[in-house]
Amino acid sequence: MSAELAIDVRGLSKSFDGRTVVHDLTLQVAKGQIYGFLGPNGSGKTTSIRMLCGLLKPDAGSGTCLGFDVIAETDQIKKQVGYMTQKFGLYEDLTIQENLQFVARVFGLDNRARRVADALERLGLGQRRHQLAGALSGGWKQRLALAACMLHEPKLLLLDEPTAGVDPKARRDFWDQIHVMAAQGITILVSTHYMDEAERCHEIVYIAYGRLLTSGPIGRVIAEAGLTTWAVSAKDGNGAGIAELSRELSGRPGIDAVAAFGAGLHVGGRDAAALERAIAPYRATSALTWLRTQPNLEDVFIDLVARAETEAETRNGKAA
């Protein structure tokens, strides 16, 4: 494995009760990078991340994580992975400091006092160390959970939708801290449903129906999607008219995606000429304003999901 890669895997697959959850996942993750994992619920994101980190044994495939084999050397990998789940899992009737001390003892860590003090300092929890965890807001609970993940000084962090239910400022503060950790050489895999969070990752991975649809830096992902996008709005702000327009446009030849954006729509297609032919009659309508625009990450993901659904239906039809 290259010294610059934290994860290098090929062909990872996993099934549960005869149902394939992840199919033929191949991915490389650079050290000190933040990789955002996106996809619909049940798409295989968490299963993929757990296999990448050696926390779940794949049925097929091979590769390394932090220089260790993801199948034969999982114990060594686990010692260097910090895992933060979506649900707060610490004791609400203990203080911040007591929770960290407890976690350090449970895992038999050495230099516990130093590790707890470092975690409190790193996450800005020092002045709140004697506050009960149950009295903390969602954002401060999130910081405490992250501090607990960092006690054993992991080289790889696995964050499963860490900012769900957290206010915007706390989310921003959390991501600032994540970037500080990445700059220190820690590799971070994070699953999220928020497009603004995806845009703060160094690279993104999009998974649907257990298959990797795209990965890479955001600019490249958008460019490779090959989408042409038009923004349309009603000049009189007629929301009902826009809703009706959305229904009319959806599924027309040449139109691959229609999605509401604010008071208007984004209309996209992979064939620019076919898309322009499809919307031409509507562009002639004086009540509407049309503007060609650059596709954004959400446009790309809406298109990817639509294509993945069609491909899944085709596969299921053939299997039947």
CATH for 300: 3.30.70.920
Confidence of residue 1 (pLDDT cuts 50, 70, 90): very low
Q: What are the contacts of 19-27 at 24+ separation with CB within 8 A? A: 20/210, 21/47, 21/210, 22/47, 22/48, 22/51, 22/58, 22/207, 22/210, 23/210, 23/211, 24/61, 24/211, 25/51, 25/52, 25/61, 25/207, 25/212, 26/212, 27/52, 27/205, 27/212, 27/215
Question: Which CATH number belongs to the domain containing residue 95 in this structure?
Answer: 3.40.50.300
- Write down the pLDDT at residue 317: 66
204, 237: one domain: no
Last residue of a domain, one of 186, 204, 222: 222
Statement to judge: residues 269 and 187 lie in one domain? no
User: What is the percentage of the chain residues whose pLDDT exceeds 70?
Assistant: 97
Per residue in 201-255, pLDDT (tens digit) is: 999 999 988 899 999 999 999 999 999 999 999 988 777 789 999 999 998 999 9
245 and 143 in a single domain? The answer is no
- The average confidence (pLDDT) of the chain is 90
pLDDT computed for residue 319 by the predictor: 57
Same domain for 187 and 240, yes or no, is no
Give the residue with greater pLDDT, 176 vs 319: 176
| 200 and 231 assigned to the same domain | no
Looking at the structure, do residues 196 and 269 belong to the same domain, yes or no? no
| 230 & 193 share domain | no
pLDDT in tens, 262-299: 889 999 999 999 999 999 999 998 889 999 999 999 89
Number of structural domains in the chain: 2
Residue 164 has pLDDT above 80, yes or no: no
Which tops the pLDDT comparison, 314 or 105?
Answer: 105
For 90-147, write each residue's pLDDT tens digit.
Answer: 999 999 999 999 999 998 999 999 999 999 998 999 999 999 999 999 889 989 999 9
Range of the domain at 296: 226-319
Residue that finishes a domain, picked among 197, 222, 247: 222
pLDDT top residue among 165 and 151: 151
Residues 245 and 297 in one domain: yes
Pairing of strands 187-191, 34-38: parallel
Ramachandran assignment for 110, one of left (phi > 0), alpha (psi -120 to 50 degrees), beta (any other)? beta
Tell me if the pTM is above 0.75.
yes
Q: Does 123 share its domain with 235?
A: no
Q: How far apart are the first and last CA of the chain?
A: 41
Domain boundary among 181, 201, 222: 222
pLDDT for position 201: 95
Residue 76 shares a structural domain with residue 168 = yes
Whole-Å CA distances, 237 to 262, 264, 286, 289, 293: 11, 9, 13, 10, 19
235 and 181 part of one domain: no
Shared domain for 270 and 235, answered yes or no, is yes
